[in-house]
């Protein structure tokens, strides 16, 4: 009689989507797919002061790139919509009112200044951040301290107010976290959180409970930063919808940066991306590069995020999306925070590039090359080039330096690599090689290599010592695939002309 699995990712559209967020999406997604359930995207935009234009669409794009598209979301919609909390505004107040009627919540008329004063007045060394809680609520201006008449008058007069939950004292609130086991709280330590704001919008606490109920969410998987607010949510479930209907919960550990927490703001500072895709702040115009733009394959991105805090118990590390869906389990998510290791992330990407079919790499590489002004490349040639160089590319962007010489003759040569051992005899060899190659009819690597060898021997030179200069002539530097393969792809005219040009410089 298990409920249908329905999970959700509920971001607040305020900026770039970072590693931790994507991992939360990923684990939700994998869990949903594994159990033939639904993955829902719900936009938590109840804070109108934090509205950032473009942020919502950006999130959609990131999910699309990562291949983690929701079954229900603001875009295709769904039967439990709307999926933007700002569009569900009217829904929430009746639940808040019900809580007030039942005595579980109350109206509070304190102004922001009054709250600030309270925090200042009661601040001590022992208690640096006083809370609006059972110890202080009777000292504030609310429906608990005001008479019923006064309260009604204030409400009738349309005085700005919020609704706060009335946290009970000495009540033990506990739940079983799927990856941490039983966690319990003493309600006395929790403050009277605001449920409904003065502008009529719910806070996260009310909205999350109401929407999870209305959207029939079966499991709530979110970051560890939410753990402290669980007691409030437990109470809301108890008061509103019944504990027996409460979803199962799991709180994921945080992803940390090199020195502690991974902050959105530091974006570029670490020397590696933190966002899935590049994000441009509409206010400052500042852009922070994302994993996509850095040259990561979505398969690799997903793969290393999945392994950051989870493993299947075997020594397997490379997983396709399908394998992840089959093997993922929430119970095996590690409970400790994980420091993000960029070197390992690059290793995953390298593995995925090596694993990728040439044809699947083509479109991406083609657009990368065209950005550098290299266009009109023969499709078959491009395929061969990719096949030859992909093993030496860690990032997609490495294709450029690794393969541009196939399409554009080198402008400079690593002369130092040649100079020391260069002499007239070698120069003669290459002149002869040009003649021999010009007569070659079967322009293929093995033929070229054999020709090269025999010419060398005829000149009483060691072929090995000539290969490096040859490479420098064709490539410009000491790198790249086997040199005769390069010559084959370059073709007769290009090869001989590159030798000729280089000979004038050497």
Partner RNA sequence: GGCCCGUUCGUCUAAGGGCUAGGACACCACCCUUUCACGGUGGUGAUACGGGUUCGAAUCCCGUACGGGCUACCA
For RNA, which residue of 154, 198, 355, 445 counts as binding (CB under 7 A)? 198
Per CB under 7 A, 184 contacts RNA: yes
CA distance 15 to 62: 12
With beta carbons less than 8 A apart as the criterion, state whether 224 and 252 touch: yes
Three-state SS at 461: coil
**Closer of 174 and 359 to RNA (Cβ):** 174
Give the torsion through C-alpha atoms of 416, 418, 424, 426, to 10 deg: 180
Tokens of 118: 């309270």
For RNA, which residue of 354, 419, 421, 431 counts as binding (CB under 7 A)? 354
Interface of this chain with RNA, residues 375 to 434, rule: CB under 7 A: 391-392
Sequence-distant (≥ 6) Cβ neighbours of residue 52 within 8 angstroms = 13, 14, 15, 282
Known catalytic membership, residue 478: no
Which part of the chain contacts RNA (CB under 7 A), choosing from 55-63, 70-78, 320-328, 329-337? 329-337
Per CB under 7 A, 15 contacts RNA: no
CA distance 44 to 301: 25
> How many residues of this chain bind RNA (CB under 7 A)?
82
Tokens of 196: 């409904």
CA distance 498 to 472: 10
CB of 441 to RNA, least distance (A): 25
For RNA, which residue of 57, 67, 102, 189 counts as binding (CB under 7 A)? 189
Which part of the chain contacts RNA (CB under 7 A), choosing from 4-12, 278-286, 322-330, 427-435? 4-12
With beta carbons less than 8 A apart as the criterion, state whether 256 and 262 touch: yes
For RNA, which residue of 87, 169, 341, 371 counts as binding (CB under 7 A)? 341
For RNA, which residue of 339, 421, 427, 431 counts as binding (CB under 7 A)? 339
For RNA, which residue of 117, 160, 265, 431 counts as binding (CB under 7 A)? 160
When computed from its CA atoms, the radius of gyration of the chain, rounded to whole angstroms, is: 32
Helix (H) or strand (E) holding 292: helix 291-294
CB of 376 to RNA, least distance (A): 26
Tokens of 165: 């939950």
**Closer of 246 and 475 to RNA (Cβ):** 475
Per CB under 7 A, 194 contacts RNA: yes
Spacing of C-alpha 191 from chain mean position: 33
For RNA, which residue of 307, 330, 448, 499 counts as binding (CB under 7 A)? 307
Distances (CA, A) of 209 to 23, 103, 175, 238: 22, 18, 15, 10
Which part of the chain contacts RNA (CB under 7 A), choosing from 209-217, 242-250, 295-303, 462-470? 462-470
For RNA, which residue of 324, 386, 396, 483 counts as binding (CB under 7 A)? 483
Tokens of 146: 């005001």
Three-state SS at 463: helix
Per CB under 7 A, 16 contacts RNA: no
**Closer of 121 and 391 to RNA (Cβ):** 391
Which part of the chain contacts RNA (CB under 7 A), choosing from 58-66, 71-79, 191-199, 356-364? 191-199
CA distance 69 to 316: 26
CB of 69 to RNA, least distance (A): 20
β-strand pairing of 181-186 with 194-196: unpaired
**Closer of 111 and 438 to RNA (Cβ):** 111
Interface of this chain with RNA, residues 124 to 153, rule: CB under 7 A: 125-129, 131-132
| Per-residue contact flags (x/-) with RNA for residues 248 to 287, judged by CB under 7 A | -----xx-x---xx--------------------------
Per CB under 7 A, 224 contacts RNA: yes
Interface of this chain with RNA, residues 38 to 77, rule: CB under 7 A: 44, 46-47, 49-50
With beta carbons less than 8 A apart as the criterion, state whether 305 and 19 touch: yes
**Closer of 316 and 359 to RNA (Cβ):** 316
**Closer of 110 and 488 to RNA (Cβ):** 110
Which stretches does DSSP call E strand in 161-281?
A: 162-165, 172-177, 181-186, 194-196, 219-223, 248-252, 255-257, 260-261, 279-280
Q: Which of 34, 89, 216, 264 is flagged as catalytic?
A: 264
Sequence-distant (≥ 6) Cβ neighbours of residue 436 within 8 angstroms = 451, 455
Helix (H) or strand (E) holding 108: strand 105-108
CB of 393 to RNA, least distance (A): 8
Catalytic residues: 264
């Amino acid at each position: 009689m298990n409920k249908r699995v329905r999970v959700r990712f509920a971001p607040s559209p305020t900026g770039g989507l970072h590693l931790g967020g994507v991992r939360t999406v990923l684990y939700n997604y994998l869990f949903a797919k594994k159990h033939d359930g639904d993955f829902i995207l719900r936009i938590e935009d109840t804070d109108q002061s934090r509205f950032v234009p473009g942020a919502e669409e950006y999130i959609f794009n990131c999910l699309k790139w990562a291949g983690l598209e929701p079954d229900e979301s603001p875009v295709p919609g769904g039967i439990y919509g709307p999926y933007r909390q700002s569009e569900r505004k009217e829904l929430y107040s009746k639940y808040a009112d019900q809580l007030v009627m039942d005595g579980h919540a109350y109206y509070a008329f304190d102004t922001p200044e009054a709250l600030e004063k309270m925090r200042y007045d009661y601040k001590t060394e022992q208690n640096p951040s006083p809370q609006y809680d059972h110890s202080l609520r009777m000292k504030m201006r609310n429906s608990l301290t005001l008479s019923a008449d006064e309260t009604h008058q204030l409400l009738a007069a349309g005085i700005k107010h919020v609704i706060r939950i009335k946290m009970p004292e000495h009540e033990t609130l506990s739940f079983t976290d799927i990856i941490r086991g039983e966690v319990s709280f003493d309600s006395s330590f929790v403050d009277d959180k605001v449920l409904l704001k003065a502008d009529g919008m719910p806070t996260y606490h009310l909205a999350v409970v109401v929407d999870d109920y209305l959207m029939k969410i079966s499991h709530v998987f979110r970051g560890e930063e939410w753990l402290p607010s669980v007691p409030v949510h437990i109470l809301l479930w108890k008061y509103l919808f019944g504990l027996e209907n409460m979803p199962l919960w799991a709180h994921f550990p945080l992803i940390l940066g090199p020195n502690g927490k991974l902050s959105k703001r530091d974006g570029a500072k670490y020397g590696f991306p933190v966002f899935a895709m590049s994000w441009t702040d509409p206010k400052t115009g500042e852009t922070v590069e994302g994993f996509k733009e850095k040259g990561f394959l979505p398969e690799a991105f997903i793969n290393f995020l999945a392994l950051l805090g989870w493993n299947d118990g075997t020594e397997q590390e490379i997983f396709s999306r399908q394998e992840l869906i089959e093997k993922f389990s929430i119970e095996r998510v590690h409970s400790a925070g994980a420091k993000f290791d960029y070197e390992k992330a690059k290793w995953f990407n390298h593995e995925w590039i090596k694993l990728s079919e040439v044809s699947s790499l083509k479109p991406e590489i083609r657009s990368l090359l065209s950005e550098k002004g290299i266009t009109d490349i023969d499709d078959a040639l491009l395929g061969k080039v990719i096949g030859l160089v992909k093993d030496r590319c860690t990032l997609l962007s490495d294709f450029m330096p690794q393969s541009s010489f196939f399409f554009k003759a080198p402008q400079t040569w690593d002369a130092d690599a040649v100079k020391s051992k260069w002499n007239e005899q070698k120069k003669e060899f290459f002149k002869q090689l040009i003649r021999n190659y010009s007569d070659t009819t079967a322009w293929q690597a093995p033929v070229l290599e054999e020709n090269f060898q025999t010419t060398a021997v005829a000149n009483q030179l060691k072929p090995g010592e000539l290969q490096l200069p040859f490479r420098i002539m064709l490539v410009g530097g000491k790198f790249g695939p086997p040199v005769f393969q390069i010559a084959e792809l370059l073709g007769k005219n290009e090869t001989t002309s590159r030798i000729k040009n280089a000979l004038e410089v050497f």
